[in-house]
């Protein structure tokens, strides 16, 4: 990568192309030794990350990322996004979750940690437990 901005642009392009039906080559974006974390998994290596993305794709009927903004320093960035998705087990429910990705990079991303609310993403959308979680959240905000 020739600049910080170009890695952000490549990140946006890669994630905007992600789709359950058409796999995307992530090797142009991520180092072979990528360390990746999100609230559900901690992975090391490009092969493990590709497998994880395939696993996630198999559980979705649709998803897309909407990038809101980013903050950048030399070799690091935080990218803020909204993820819109439909899970196969909840086909009539469109889910939106806010999150961000902290990345470290040289010519490719060497480390990524995603932050998002798993309750907002998953549990709040389950028929029984979702009502209880939303109730608790409303009570804590009032």
Q: Measure the CA–CA gap between 85 and 91, rounded to whole angstroms.
A: 10
Helix (H), strand (E) counts: the chain: 4, 6
111 within 8 A of 35, measured Cβ to Cβ: yes
Q: What are phi and psi of 25, to 5 degrees?
A: -75, 110
* Confidence (pLDDT) at 135: 67
Tokens of 109: 């991303």
* Confidence (pLDDT) at 5: 63
Strand partners, 36: 43, 112
Q: Where are the domains of the chain?
A: 4-117
Q: Measure the CA–CA gap between 108 and 42, rounded to whole angstroms.
A: 19
Q: How confident is the model at residue 130 (pLDDT cuts 50, 70, 90)?
A: low
What's the pTM value of the predicted model, to 2 decimals?
0.82
3-state helix/strand/coil string of 82-111:
EEEEEECCCCCCCEEEEEEEEEEECCCEEE
Least confident of 46-55, 56-65, 80-89, 129-138: 129-138
* Confidence (pLDDT) at 120: 63
27 three-class SS: coil
Percent of the chain with pLDDT over 70: 82
CA distances from 110 to 34, 53, 59, 129 (A): 5, 17, 26, 37
- Length, in residues, of the chain: 142
The pLDDT tens digits of the residues spanning 17-29 come to: 888 777 788 999 9
Q: Rounded mean pLDDT of 45-70?
A: 92
> Of 3.10.450.50, 3.30.420.280, 3.40.50.740, 3.40.50.10420, which CATH number belongs to 4-117?
3.10.450.50
* Confidence (pLDDT) at 117: 82
Least confident of 13-27, 37-51, 62-76, 92-106: 13-27
């Amino acid at each position: 990568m020739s600049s910080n901005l170009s890695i952000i642009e490549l990140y946006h392009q890669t994630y905007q192309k992600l789709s359950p039906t058409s796999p995307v080559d992530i090797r142009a974006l991520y180092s072979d030794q990528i360390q990746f974390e999100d609230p559900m998994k901690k992975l090391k290596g490009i092969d493990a990350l590709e497998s994880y993305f395939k696993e996630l794709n198999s559980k979705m009927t649709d998803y897309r990322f909407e990038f809101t903004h980013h903050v950048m320093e030399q070799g690091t960035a935080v990218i803020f996004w909204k993820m819109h998705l439909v899970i196969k087990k909840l086909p009539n429910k469109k889910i939106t979750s806010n999150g961000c990705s902290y990345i470290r990079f040289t010519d490719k991303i060497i480390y990524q940690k995603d932050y998002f609310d798993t309750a907002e993403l998953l549990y709040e959308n389950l028929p029984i437990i979702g009502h209880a979680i939303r109730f608790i959240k409303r009570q804590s905000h009032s």
